[in-house]
């Protein structure tokens, strides 16, 4: 059985959850607490980040590397196109959305969310063990300072991240005009990556009321302005059609 080490709230971890579900592979999860995760990830892998999977003693870190591994080991329901040119195109899209959507959205969101303790604890403790809340009542300021330092979050980097995020969304809209999939004519790792990384923002399956209560004001406002955009509707449609576990 595959074990996934994750933060439940992480959109990079959602990429791997979707990957595993899409391929119909059973897995168990180990939800980690930000900050304390370092003890676990430090023993498993060279970098500190999640997702990490352990499959029969084989450890793989990073959502793209996990996708490569799973497509190689479990070729049924591939997410990498069989045609080498299309495979390269899909990988290039994945790299683009990882950087220009996954990382930028996170930095911009954290800039507003981390100073708001209630909002931050809402998502940081999602799925966390029982001791997460009492512990974070004490250590949250330290964890927040570490996160801000680690990701270089400040007003300037947040503004730059927002600009890059919006540019990437424009590019998605252009490409999606008249097309259902980013690459070729089949659902691939490019679509899965883009939709998973946009899932906290487009929030498929969550009500507007719920979103309003958890999103910081500036994020809520931009999201509201984007609700009728092609990329937004596309993410929701892809979730409806492709996100069900096999
Ligand atoms: N490129 C990596 C990015 C993963 C990543 O940034 N994970 C974040 C959570 S969204 C993380 O684990 N941060 C804590 C750390 O790096 O120690 C991937 O695709 O897996």
The CATH number that applies at residue 13 is 3.40.30.10
Confidence of residue 214 (pLDDT cuts 50, 70, 90): confident
Q: Cis ω on the peptide bond leading into residue 51 (within 30° of 0)? A: yes
| Tokens (6 digits) for 176 | 């999606």
- Quick one: pLDDT band at residue 110, thresholds 50, 70, 90? very high
CB 63 within 8 Å of CB 19? yes
Whether 148 is covered by a domain: the verdict is yes
Q: What is the CA(154)–ligand 1 centre distance, in A? A: 19
pTM of the model as a whole: 0.97
Instruction: Please check the confidence at residue 36 and state whether its pLDDT lies above 90.
Output: yes
Q: Are residues 65 and 96 in the same domain?
A: no
62 lines ligand 1 (CB under 6 A): yes
Where does residue 166 rank: exposed (0-12), middle (13-18), buried (19+ CB within 10 A)? middle
From the CA of 49, how far away is ligand 1's center (Å)? 4
Per-residue pLDDT at 173 exceeds 90: yes
What's the confidence (pLDDT) of residue 211?
A: 86
pLDDT at 245: 81
Contact 215 CB / ligand 1 (< 6 Å): no
Distance CA 128, CA 24 (A): 25
State which of 12, 18, 68, 144 you would mutate to test the pocket of ligand 1, scoring each by most atoms of that ligand within 8 A of its C-beta. Answer: 12
Q: What is the pLDDT of residue 242?
A: 97
Contact 53, 16 (CB under 8 A): yes
Rounded Cα–Cα distance for residues 65 and 149 (Å): 26
As a whole number of angstroms, the distance between CA 9 and CA 211 comes to 14
Identify the domain containing residue 123 by its residue range: 84-242
């Amino acid at each position: 059985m595959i074990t996934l080490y994750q933060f439940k709230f992480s959109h990079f971890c959602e990429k791997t959850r979707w990957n595993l579900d899409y391929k119909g592979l059973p897995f168990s999860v180990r939800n980690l607490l930000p900050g304390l995760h370092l003890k676990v990830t430090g023993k498993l892998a060279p970098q500190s980040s999640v997702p990490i999977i352990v499959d029969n003693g084989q450890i793989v870190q990073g959502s793209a590397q996990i996708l490569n591994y799973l497509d190689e080991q479990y070729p049924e329901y591939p997410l990498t196109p069989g045609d080498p040119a299309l495979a390269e195109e899909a990988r290039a899209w994945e790299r683009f959305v990882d950087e220009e959507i996954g990382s930028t959205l996170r930095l911009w969101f954290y800039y507003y969310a981390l100073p708001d303790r209630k909002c931050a604890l809402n998502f940081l403790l999602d799925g966390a063990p029982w001791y997460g809340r009492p512990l974070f009542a004490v250590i949250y300021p330290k964890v927040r300072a570490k996160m801000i330092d680690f990701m270089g979050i400040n007003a300037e980097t947040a503004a730059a991240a927002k600009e890059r995020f919006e540019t990437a969304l424009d590019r998605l809209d252009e490409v999606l005009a008249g097309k259902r999939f980013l690459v070729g004519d089949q659902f691939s790792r490019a679509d899965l990556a883009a939709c998973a990384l946009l899932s906290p923002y487009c929030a498929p399956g969550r009500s507007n009321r719920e979103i309003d209560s958890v999103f910081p004001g500036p994020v809520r406002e931009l999201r509201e302005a984007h609700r009728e955009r092609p990329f937004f509707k596309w993410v929701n449609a892809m979730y409806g059609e492709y996100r069900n576990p096999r």
